[in-house]
Amino acid sequence: MCVRHGRVSILAGIELPTGQVLAHVKDRHRSSEFIALLRNFDDAYPPEATIRVVMEIKLHRYDLRYFGPE
């Protein structure tokens, strides 16, 4: 079992024209939390709206070994 030692996962999105932030703060970091955030985006806008998702993924040094030499 993974122990997080007080850490939380913050997933958020910002609507650039208005500055409105839609955020989820969760104790766990799984795909189900990410999907819940996407559903929250979907619920916040009318069906005819286009939602574009830009993801920023930060990698730790030890994760880079999976992508080959620099």
Indicate the number of domains in the chain. 1
CA dist., res. 9 & res. 30, Å (int): 9
As a whole number, mean pLDDT of residues 12-35 equals 83
Domain extent, residue 54, equals 9-67
Maximum mean pLDDT: which of 2-6, 23-27, 53-57: 23-27
Q: What confidence tens digit (pLDDT) does each residue in 30-54 have? A: 788 888 888 888 898 899 988 888 7
Supply the pTM of this predicted model. 0.59
Give 63 or 35, the one with higher predicted confidence.
35
In a domain, 39, yes or no: yes
b (16+ CB within 10 A) / e for 19-56: eeeeeeeeeeeeeeeeeebeeeeeeeeeeeeeeeeeee
Task: State residue 62's pLDDT score.
Answer: 55
In a domain, 4, yes or no: no
In a domain, 33, yes or no: yes
In a domain, 2, yes or no: no
